[in-house]
Amino acid sequence: MTDLAALQRINLQRWSHAKPTRNFASIARRLTASDARSRYQAVAARTGVPWPMIAVVHERECSQDWTRSLAQGDPWDRISVHVPAGRGPFKSWEDAAIDALNNCAPYAGRNKDWSIGALLTKLEEYNGLGYAARGVPSPYVWAGTDQYRSGKYVRDGVYDPNVIDSQAGCAGLLMAMKALDPSIAFAGAAQSSSHASTSEPTAPKKAAPAPPPKTPSLKSPAPGSIGAFIASVLVALVAVFKPKGK
């Protein structure tokens, strides 16, 4: 059985170091378009699932096809035949999405921890934990980043280590969406991650100004001046004629 807490830590570490190896921009623009975002946000309000996660699942399951269910990509206006089978029919894409998130494994609507490590792990659960059991990154999450090279379940229970997933992985999509929409933020994301940084450069500290030079006076003549010479003579005379103590 997969240790989900350990997988969350692993996925957080992967996120902190991940770099995209594909261009996710065009898909990210579709997913963050105002009309799409409003529909995802409506489902988020009914489920508690962050709308960016809903968006990337929609892309992975059915290439953002609004006639297909978030659960498995089957048409939502008829009873589903793929796992989870027997769902529907529904009145709208939104109703099907709410059912998928609240009533189907991995029951994302019941989740309360949406830090980035937990969110990525929930996405991995959505596709299955077979990759975690093998100790390899899930292409569902990491395809298109340097955290994934190859390996894919080509059908139920059949894993081919040489197949490369051609779809955009959820992590790379989330990175690209965040770059396009500053309102997207992920709790627990490392500040020093290689794909995004929220820290701002600090201005170098200014050196303390040097104290102004002292104005020459009889008590403090400028070095090398006539005043300095006369002062040295006076000091010598005082030393000569100073009465000796008993």
Taking only the tens place, the pLDDT of each residue in 94-109 is: 999 999 999 999 999 9
For 214-246, b where at least 16 C-beta lie within 10 A, e where not — what string?
eeeeeeebeeeeebeeeeeeeeeeeeeeeeeee
Closest CA to 114 of 52, 197, 27: 52
Roughly how many angstroms between the first and final C-alpha of the chain, as a whole number?
99
pLDDT higher than 60, residue 33:
yes
pLDDT on residue 3: 95
**Mean pLDDT over each residue of the chain, to the nearest integer:** 85
Per-residue pLDDT averaged across 75-100, rounded? 97
Q: What is the pLDDT of residue 202?
A: 30
Q: Is residue 178 over pLDDT 70?
A: yes
How does residue 228 score in pLDDT terms, banded at 50, 70 and 90? low
Specify the number of domains making up the chain.
1
pTM score, whole prediction: 0.76
Residue 153 lies in a domain: yes
CA separation (Å) from 200 to 154, 191, 192, 196, 223? 44, 11, 11, 12, 49
Q: Does some domain include residue 239?
A: no
Q: Which of 132, 178, 144, 107 is nearest to 10 (CA)?
A: 132
Res 229 pLDDT > 90: no
Burial label for 69, CB within 10 Å (0-12, 13-18, 19+), is: buried
Q: Are 174 and 150 a contacting pair, CB within 8 Å?
A: no
Domain-embedded: residue 231: no
**Residue 38 buriedness (CB in 10 A; 0-12 / 13-18 / 19+):** exposed
pLDDT in tens, 190-199: 544 445 433 3
Mean pLDDT of 199-209: 38
Per-residue pLDDT, 1: 83
The domain of 12 spans: 4-180
Report the distance separating Cα 55 and Cα 177, nearest Å.
10
CB 101 within 8 A of CB 109: yes
Confidence tier at 214 by pLDDT (50, 70, 90): low
| Residue 209, in any domain of the structure | no
Task: Say whether pLDDT at 246 is over 50.
Answer: no
Residue 152: band (very low, low, confident or very high) from pLDDT cuts 50, 70, 90: very high
Q: How far is CA 93 from the centre of its chain?
A: 29
Any domain includes 97: yes
Give me the percent of the chain exceeding a pLDDT of 90.
Answer: 74
Phi first, then psi, for residue 221 (nearest 5°) are -70, 155
> What would the two tokens of residue 94 be?
């939104």
Q: What is the C-alpha R_g of the chain?
A: 34
Beta carbons of 70 and 100 less than 8 angstroms apart: yes
Whether residue 200 is predicted with pLDDT greater than 80 in this model: the reply is no
Q: How far apart are CA 69 and CA 152, in angstroms?
A: 23
CA dihedral 122, 72, 85, 91 (to 10 degrees): 110
82, part of any domain: yes
Average pLDDT over residues 141-154: 97
> Residue 218 falls within a domain, yes or no?
no
- Give the mean pLDDT of 139-163: 96
Q: Tell me, yes or no, whether 14 lies in a domain.
A: yes
pLDDT over 80 (residue 212) = no
